[in-house]
Structure 1
Amino acid sequence: GGVCLNVGCIPTKVLLHTAKAFETARDGLAIGLRAENVSVDWPALMERKKAVIDTLVGGVETLMATNGITVLRGEGRLLSPKEVAVKGEDGSEATVQADAVIIATGSEPVIPPVPGFDLEGIITSSEALSLEGLPESAVIVGGGVIGMEFAGLFSSLGVKVSVVEMLPEILPMFDSEVVAVLRGAFERKGVTFHTSSKVTSVKRSGGGLLVSAETPGGPVLLEGEKVLLSVGRRPVTVGLGLEEAGVKVERGRIRTDKRMETSARGVYAVGDCTSPVMLAHVASREGEVAAENALGGAARMDYKTVPSAVYTSPEIASVGLSEKEALEKGYRVKVGRFPLMANGKSIILGESEGLVKFVVDEKYDEILGMHMAGPGATELIAEGALALRLEATVEEILTTVHGHPTVGEAVLEAAMAVRGSALSLPKSQ
């Protein structure tokens, strides 16, 4: 495990934060700020990324030490549901016995069997976080969260970016309206998208790479100094002794119940090696559930209130059902939308591109989903997650006072819009 902290969400957000600051300074005249010859010091940024990781890793090590946790550094393999063999980094071998075992081995990038994907210059997200310098151009294969965050990072820093996605739209797990906001913003930055498209091969071309892709409009050739593969991740489950311990694996993923227990009694699995949702906050909650049950508790994992977020500019975030998903599940829905161009704080920030959207059950007025594109979306989505946990109604959002001026007011106004009463929107004739 440890993907998020070492080669995932934390280092990625360090780079995205700097990219956002760079854009603000570069385009500062729009908010009355004059900054000339602004540039990114890439080596210094890499050092800051390392410092942030080291600080957080050190914090985890301190927590483990102060809680009396013994750390064995090496490779573990199950011998039975209550025995783990550990081959230490120094070559030593040991067998550890336990009443319960929790597996948290994480995931690794998927490398599709496409000709040329083994060439130098083909990178995954792990390598992209440690580049010696920015490429002049990049082709990103995969339009999911990882691909879009790197598309945002690279394009903000002046890299020419092309994205190839097999599905009809990028970020298919998000509500289409918030995705449209992000795609429009990226296209204005010069990012080109090829959806419903498939990479067929990669060849070396001069100092870079030439990507061949089949698109709805016919074959295209895309040039990139780097080609980033972001087509997904797969659980790390090989070589763990799972079969010997009686732990069942389905399509490479460890099977668990809602208690996070595997088919072997006393053996639990959490995070990317088992979860249908590969997110760090999901893994964290699964770990809490597994630990509580390993100690005799009766906790259950519930994915209903799990928020998803993309830390791009603009940010997008989602929790619960999209409008399409709600309709497919048979709900009669009503929707409230509020554009950030009518929100005072968003205008102050110079980031009024975006919206807040509620999907609501028409029968009971219960909130089924909240979706947002715009500044602070990744923070504000917590209000939607809490609403789902409490099975809140639109009325309960409406009667909660939101501070002014805040982007959070747009959440209140979107709830008002469900009833056609948003105060900051012109009245329909």
Structure 2
Amino acid sequence: MKKFDVVIIGGGSGGCAAASRLADLGKKVALIEMRGKEGLGGTCINRGCIPAKILLAAAEAYSGVLKARDFGIEATGVSFDYRQVIQKKQGTVKALKFGLQNFVLKPRGIEIFYGLGRIRDPHTVEVTGGDQTELLQAENIIIATGSEPAMFSSFNIDGQNVLTSDHALDLQEIPPELLIIGAGALGLEFAHLFSTFGSKVSIVEMAPQIIPALADQEFTGLVQNYFEKQGIAIKTGVKIESVELAAAGKVVSSLSNGEKIESSKVLVAIGRKLNTTDLGLQEAGIKMERDRIVVDESMRTSIPNIYAVGDIVPGPQLSHKAQREGIVAAEAIAGLGTRMDYRVIPWAIFTQPEIAAVGMTREEAERAQIKTITGSLPLMANEKANTMKKTAGLVKVVARADNLKLIGAQVFATEASVLIGELALAIANGVTVESLSNTVHVHPSLSEAIMEACKGSLGKAFHRSAR
């Protein structure tokens, strides 16, 4: 039986981050990936954020050429070959996986096992791959098995007409009409992608607003209004009752309001199934609540030497959250006393404009009985946005009224995923909106919108449109 300081079950974002940090801290590490070599890197690299962003980058390139006339540039005969777009996506994913295995994991001496990992006892993990079974002895264990798209039987998901996000990433052709179930991050990104390439897109969301996780109806209303103007039909507060295959390869979806929507394909962009079955969790005595593993601030489970990170623990299902949790678990095992801070987990939706947020909204602060001040700046008032002809959106900040410390921000703008980083850093370090408003930003730049929004919260804005 091979002996390791740490055995990690799951080779995705959280598992790889933990493995790398542990190796740097001098630990002997085993990493188990159940999907084989093709699965290394997890959902993010293989079937999630990375392939999706490659396709979205292609859509942005295509859209940019179509809009070149806005800058006095004529481009004729513009077309795309979506099969080539998919091939480029696959090539980039392959290169990133090669880099992960050969430039991140192997140089650190991390031993990789391909197969299904199962906890036999608090210090033994069984790895089953094909016809072979191997036992690994571990001082500590980290569970990082992630999740996969939920297969709702009521939607008749078949991978051809009714799709999950995994299927959608490998479509070889743009569907003429696409109905998307769910207006969260997945739904909006796929809506933007396929709409840009010419698909007639409709979204149905059972919640009363798009981006249900964001408690700011004013902000989400602005986002919804923009995408509706781009030709995407959005219905909120409505459920899908049934999805049935009709004649000529069409799919008919029946809504709770009595409407029916006919489309070429349906994309189910809701729900993730946690990979927690057949891991030996119950037998090991690991505590769970609402199907997720209960952990403390060090990512430690109810069994002292077993840790868990990523989608299988409470909190948003985000790759960067899983990575941070993996590092926290690694450093806790090494005795560094690191703790996970969930107050500052930024997220972004990579539409155009992008959508990003961090910390609390004003509504969330009010529910927590925190008095706030807010400030916002429409991108129309930002000079850099005007030079780029990307003036849709705004930057909004939320601060405590008593000490002016920034506690939240929402951004709807091109490069919102970049802008949110400054705001996350400010929240994490207790920076005030006054300090941000007095910090000189490059001119012209999109980041000036942060400075102006902060000034707006204090009644000092240069732009009259700030508030």
Q: TM-score range by the shorter chain?
A: over 0.9
Does residue 80 (structure 1) correspond to residue 124 (structure 2)? The answer is no
User: In structure 2, how many angstroms separate the alpha carbons of the residues matched to 1:183 and 1:300?
Assistant: 37
Q: Which moved more, 1:409-418 or 1:18-27?
A: 18-27
Cα contact 1:337–1:357 (8 A) shared by 2: yes
Deviation at 1:427, TM superposition (A): 9.3
Partner in structure 1 of residue 136 of structure 2: 96
User: In structure 2, how many angstroms separate the alpha carbons of the residues matched to 1:212 and 1:22?
Assistant: 34
Cα contact 1:357–1:370 (8 A) shared by 2: yes
Q: 1:185 to 1:425 in 2, by over 3 A?
A: same
Partner in structure 2 of residue 209 of structure 1: 251
Partner in structure 2 of residue 266 of structure 1: 305
User: In structure 2, how many angstroms separate the alpha carbons of the residues matched to 1:339 and 1:26?
Assistant: 25
Deviation at 1:30, TM superposition (A): 1.2
Partner in structure 2 of residue 187 of structure 1: 228
- Give the structure-2-normalised TM-score: 0.88
Does residue 386 (structure 1) correspond to residue 412 (structure 2)? The answer is no
Does residue 27 (structure 1) correspond to residue 67 (structure 2)? The answer is yes
Q: Which moved more, 1:242-251 or 1:123-132?
A: 242-251
Does residue 37 (structure 1) correspond to residue 65 (structure 2)? The answer is no
Q: Which amino acid aligns with 2:134?
A: A
Cα contact 1:358–1:371 (8 A) shared by 2: yes
Superposed, 1:105-184 pairs within 5 Å as 105-114=145-154, 116-118=156-158, 120-174=160-214, 175-184=216-225
Q: Which amino acid aligns with 1:56?
A: L
Q: Which amino acid aligns with 2:84?
A: A
Does residue 14 (structure 1) correspond to residue 47 (structure 2)? The answer is no
Cα contact 2:155–2:162 (8 A) shared by 1: no
Q: 1:426 to 1:295 in 2, by over 3 A?
A: closer
Cα contact 2:184–2:210 (8 A) shared by 1: yes
Cα contact 2:148–2:275 (8 A) shared by 1: yes
Partner in structure 1 of residue 287 of structure 2: 248
Q: After TM superposition, where is structure 1 displaced by more than 6 Å over at least 4 residues in a row?
A: none
Residue by residue, what CA displacement relative to the aligned partner does 1:82-129 show, whole Å, maximum 9, x if unpaired? Answer: 10101124x211000010011110011123342544584111001100
Deviation at 1:208, TM superposition (A): 1.4
User: In structure 2, how many angstroms separate the alpha carbons of the residues matched to 1:116 and 1:284?
Assistant: 34
- Give the structure-1-normalised TM-score: 0.96
Cα contact 2:434–2:458 (8 A) shared by 1: no
1:352 aligned residue (391, 398, 401) = 391
Question: What are the ranges of 5 or more consecutive residues in structure 1 without an aligned counterpart?
Answer: none
User: In structure 2, how many angstroms separate the alpha carbons of the residues matched to 1:238 and 1:32?
Assistant: 58
Superposed, 1:411-422 pairs within 5 Å as 411-422=450-461
Cα contact 1:234–1:252 (8 A) shared by 2: no
Residue by residue, what CA displacement relative to the aligned partner does 1:295-326 show, whole Å, maximum 9, x if unpaired? Answer: 22311111111101110011111011011111
Does residue 327 (structure 1) correspond to residue 382 (structure 2)? The answer is no
Q: Which moved more, 1:280-289 or 1:241-250?
A: 241-250
Residue by residue, what CA displacement relative to the aligned partner does 1:203-245 show, whole Å, maximum 9, x if unpaired? Answer: 1122110000113xxx111111111111121321001111122
Q: 1:212 to 1:119 in 2, by over 3 A?
A: farther
Q: Which amino acid aligns with 1:421?
A: K
Residue by residue, what CA displacement relative to the aligned partner does 1:261-289 show, whole Å, maximum 9, x if unpaired? Answer: 11112111110111321000000000000
Does residue 338 (structure 1) correspond to residue 338 (structure 2)? The answer is no
User: In structure 2, how many angstroms separate the alpha carbons of the residues matched to 1:203 and 1:3?
Assistant: 29
User: In structure 1, how many angstroms separate the alpha carbons of the residues matched to 2:349 and 2:221?
Assistant: 13
Partner in structure 1 of residue 330 of structure 2: 291
Residue by residue, what CA displacement relative to the aligned partner does 1:122-178 show, whole Å, maximum 9, x if unpaired? Answer: 110011000121111111011111111101111111101111111000102223333
Cα contact 2:209–2:221 (8 A) shared by 1: no
Q: 1:119 to 1:88 in 2, by over 3 A?
A: closer
Deviation at 1:181, TM superposition (A): 3.1
Aligned length: 424
Question: What are the ranges of 5 or more consecutive residues in structure 2 without an aligned counterpart?
Answer: 1-11, 13-41
User: In structure 1, how many angstroms separate the alpha carbons of the residues matched to 2:96 and 2:158?
Assistant: 33
Cα contact 1:341–1:352 (8 A) shared by 2: yes
Aligned residues: percent identity? 39
Cα contact 1:16–1:311 (8 A) shared by 2: yes
User: In structure 2, how many angstroms separate the alpha carbons of the residues matched to 1:112 and 1:289?
Assistant: 34
User: In structure 2, how many angstroms separate the alpha carbons of the residues matched to 1:152 and 1:347?
Assistant: 22
Deviation at 1:426, TM superposition (A): 6.0
